[in-house]
Amino acid sequence: MRNTTKFTSAVLAAGALTLGLTACGSDKDSASGSADYSGPLVVAATATPHAEILDYIKDNLAKKAGLDLQVKEVTDYITPNTATEDGSVGANYFQSKPYLADFNAKRGTHLVSVADVHLEPLGLYSHKVKSVGALKNGATVAVPNDADNESRALKLLAANGLITFKDGGKGQETPQSIDKNPKGLKFAEVEAAQTVRSLDDVDAAVVNGNYALSAKLKPATDALVLESAKNNPYVNVLAVKKGNEKDPRVKKLAKLLNSPEVKKFIEDKYQGSVIASF
């Protein structure tokens, strides 16, 4: 049974004052001046696979490890980082390292990775064609509109011969970076969470693995093309606000996320659609 709590932006804002005191472990004890790491570790995570993996840990491993874990489920890629920054939660688990770096740079946050966990291969999906070759000239492809995931999506298309880049694909790519586009593809830039919902309106969409899984798609079999896991930098990580890396609760969770039990859970449940990175 899922025992994850749904966590929306509104709830985060309303609960910041009450959760902040125990969630992040960065507040100072007025008497001793030491960090307060009492209470449960509250972790924000997108539903699939992140919250599912955390729920497995909560139900099967946390008690023995002496970890009181609370999972707060989110539906977007902004809320978990802003909540971790402001102390509404103590950690988050949903994003890749490049996304984290880009978010810090653009929003002035101070978040750091504390554990590599898994890779969700990005995939190109369609409700209208069965292969990349069947995409018609002038077809519209939906891509995530955040800089990191859009670049990643375009590089997936380039890796499969649909486009080429002016710089050879060495930078953070945008549609303006495209050199050759033989099919004259058009790009619909939408929020990452909306890419899978756009499949009825566009010819194809590049969808992040967690959103594909949430929509009951099987990346390993349903994607027209799928990102290679080899030398892939987009490993999903457990992240905290800088300064909370030494929180013993965070250390316990990081160890559990990299445990043999979690690796087996990922392999058994996701059958190659999510790949353990440890």
Q: Which domains are present in the chain? A: 5-121+233-276 (3.40.190.10), 123-226 (3.40.190.10)
**Stated pTM of the model:** 0.77
Residue by residue, pLDDT tens for the chain (278 residues) are 444 445 444 444 434 333 333 344 444 333 334 567 889 999 999 999 999 999 999 999 999 999 999 999 999 999 999 999 999 999 999 999 999 999 999 999 999 999 999 999 999 999 999 999 999 999 999 999 999 999 999 999 999 999 999 988 888 999 999 999 999 999 999 999 999 999 999 999 999 999 999 999 999 899 999 998 888 889 999 999 999 999 999 999 999 999 999 999 999 999 889 999 99
Please report the DSSP string for the chain in residue order: ---PEE--HHHHHHHHHHHHHHHSS-SBPTTT--B---SPEEEEEEIIIIIHHHHHHHHHTHHHHT--EEEEEESSSSHHHHHHHHTSSSEEEEEEHHHHHHHHHHH---EEEEEEEEE---EEE-SS-SSGGGPPTT-EEEEE-SHHHHHHHHHHHHHTTS-EETT-S-S---GGGEEE-TT--EEEEE-GGGTGGGGGTSSEEEE-HHHHHHTT--HHHH-SEE---TT---EEEEEEETT-TT-HHHHHHHHHHTSHHHHHHHHHHHTTSSEE--
Residue 34 is predicted with a pLDDT of: 58
